[in-house]
């Protein structure tokens, strides 16, 4: 039986819903908030309340942004002719740690997973195909950087086949590559270290 006041217990239960947060950690986080100065706590609360309203998807790559176009897509120093396709924004952030990649991204916000009823139309594959059609042959390479597990492989294969379908009729000459297996099978990009990602990017293969 909990000895925490109901309000504090409720806050702790919210924290327990977060990935990787257990009961003890949730309680510590709730205690930490309780000890914060009221001004800091109010600022934190306001940011959480406004988060959904402020954050949207980039109109080009579907990264999180507070503007119409994210900072990466708006950066003229990036190579906009190379697109890395990732499952989630957390994977994008992994590539942005360190100086290993200067192209742009496309975020799927998921992967094909029939067991959990996630179909190709449930993620942002069609937006990728439309983007490539609209670029009218400027794209040089598309790197399929979905996770190296069963669902990630199925997603990469599906996208590869769809890309091939539009490549020949539109006479587009881009490469389709897959990250090299410097990444362990079953791993998530979110937890990969800098050097593993660097070697995987450098050793990517034609797909």
Domains of the chain: 6-54 (1.10.8.420), 64-206 (3.40.1360.10)
Please list the ranges in the chain whose pLDDT falls under 50.
1
* Cα 63 from Cα 44, distance rounded (Å): 23
Residue 181 in contact with residue 148, Cβ under 8 Å? yes
Number of residues that this document lists for the chain:
207
Find the farthest-apart pair of alpha carbons in the chain and give their distance in angstroms, rounded.
68
pLDDT at 24: 93
Q: For residue 112, what pLDDT is reported?
A: 96
Report pLDDT for 1: 42
Rg (CA), the chain: 20
Q: What is the rounded CA–CA span in Å between residue 40 and residue 35?
A: 10
CB 114 within 8 A of CB 89: no
Distance of alpha carbon 86 from the chain centroid: 6
pLDDT at 132: 93
pTM: 0.81
Q: What confidence score (pLDDT) does residue 189 get?
A: 81
């Amino acid at each position: 039986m909990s000895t925490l006041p109901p309000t504090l217990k409720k806050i702790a239960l919210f924290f327990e819903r977060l990935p990787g947060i257990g009961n003890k950690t949730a309680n510590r986080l709730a205690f930490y908030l309780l000890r914060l100065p009221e001004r800091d706590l109010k600022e934190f609360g306001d940011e959480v309340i406004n988060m959904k309203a402020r954050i949207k998807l980039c109109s080009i790559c579907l990264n999180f942004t507070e503007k119409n176009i994210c900072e990466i897509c708006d950066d003229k120093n990036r190579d906009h002719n190379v697109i890395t396709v990732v499952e989630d924004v957390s994977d994008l952030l992994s590539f942005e740690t360190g100086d290993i990649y200067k192209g742009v991204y496309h975020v799927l916000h998921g992967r094909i997973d029939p067991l959990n009823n996630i179909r190709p139309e449930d993620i942002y594959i069609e937006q990728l195909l439309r983007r490539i059609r609209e670029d009218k042959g400027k794209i040089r390479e598309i790197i399929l950087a979905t996770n190296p597990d069963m669902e990630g492989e199925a997603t990469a294969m599906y996208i590869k086949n769809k890309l091939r379908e539009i490549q020949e009729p539109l006479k587009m000459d881009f490469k389709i590559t897959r990250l090299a297996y410097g990444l362990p099978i079953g791993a998530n990009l979110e937890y990969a270290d800098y050097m593993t990602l660097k070697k995987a990017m450098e050793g990517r293969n034609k797909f």
